Amino acid sequence: MKTIPITPDNAGKRLDVFLAESEGVTRSRIQKLLEDGHITVNGTAKPKNYKLTGGETVCLSVPPVVPDTASPEDISLDILYEDDDLLVINKPKGMVVHPAAGNPSGTLVNALLAHCGDSLSGIGGVARPGIVHRIDKNTSGLLLVAKNDEAHLALSVYIKDNAFSVIYTALALGRIEEPLTVDKPIGRSSVDRKKMAVTDKNARSAVTHVTPLEIFPGLTLVRCELETGRTHQIRVHLASIGHPILGDDVYGRPRDPVEQKYGKGLIGQTLHAGEIRFTHPRTGKSMVFSCPLPDYFETLLKKLRSKTENL
């Protein structure tokens, strides 16, 4: 059980909003814990919309892990690091992180259940055991997985406090000559609920730092570092400034001549989480891991460099 003293500066906040922000857990997960009686305020259960007054004591008790609805599957994992608390995995493009409608199997969670057995945190809920953060199906690269609830809680706090960093590499349409920062709030699109968008309505702050690495005709290889971790953040932010990611079939420009020339056959965006930095939740040691670009990305870059040299 975790005890959380409520300071006066948090007076007026909704209980579910406060806990989602302070613990780095989704609001829906907090609301489920509230409904099931695993969260109390001064020893009493409260509704999700309870307004904090300051001075209370909140007790959070994460229930034991229940059997997952997903089945273990013997799927090969590219594990860069593993200990009793966590794993660092290089996820290939095309792999879904957790089971959902349309993807009931073949996911990272299915593979983790086979590899780790019962040794995964349960804070993410039965559909997402061990999942601290995630990357899109067609984004490749590094993912951090928690093997117990203590590690999961600590890592979630690091993410909330920007003490957790993932560096991405992407190929963006157009020419980006100088480093820039995109500071635009992101929320659910009012036009298409399956998409995210830059909006002021029911949005959360989002900041992406973009640095050009190489410039090609019609394309720029960029480094992206996030201050926040919103759904589809890099894809939405780059598209919002007129530089969508090559191959992005959701936020891209399918009729763009460069997209038509180089995006065919890519099956999704050219986006790779190549470096991850965090503090180990048990030892306090600074951890840094990196992985190379996938083969398809390197092959495309070689093609672009060859064409540039021949101009």
Question: How many whole angstroms separate alpha carbon 105 and alpha carbon 101?
Answer: 10
Question: How many whole angstroms separate alpha carbon 194 and alpha carbon 156?
Answer: 25
C-alpha of 102 from chain center = 20
Q: Which residues pair with 85 in a beta bridge?
A: none
Tokens read off for 132: 């601290």
DSSP string, 218-258: TEEEEEEEESS--TTHHHHHHHHTT-PBTT-TTTS-TT-HH
Q: Which residues pair with 47 in a beta bridge?
A: none
Tokens read off for 46: 């409260």
- Phi, then psi, of 277 in degrees rounded to 5: -135, 135
Q: Check: CB of residue 210 under 8 Å from CB of residue 180.
A: yes
Tokens read off for 188: 């659910």
- Phi, then psi, of 65 in degrees rounded to 5: -65, 130
Give all strands (DSSP E) within the chain, no chain letters. Answer: 2-5, 39-41, 44-45, 57-60, 79-82, 86-91, 140-146, 165-173, 180-183, 186-188, 196-198, 207-216, 219-226, 271-279, 286-290
- Strands 286-290, 271-279: pairing is antiparallel
Q: Check: CB of residue 257 under 8 Å from CB of residue 248.
A: no
List the catalytic residues: 136
Which residue has 């530089």 as its token pair? 243
Most distant CA pair in the chain: distance in Å? 72
Closest CA to 238 of 270, 208, 263: 208
In the 8-state DSSP scheme, what is residue 138? T
Q: Which residues pair with 81 in a beta bridge?
A: 88
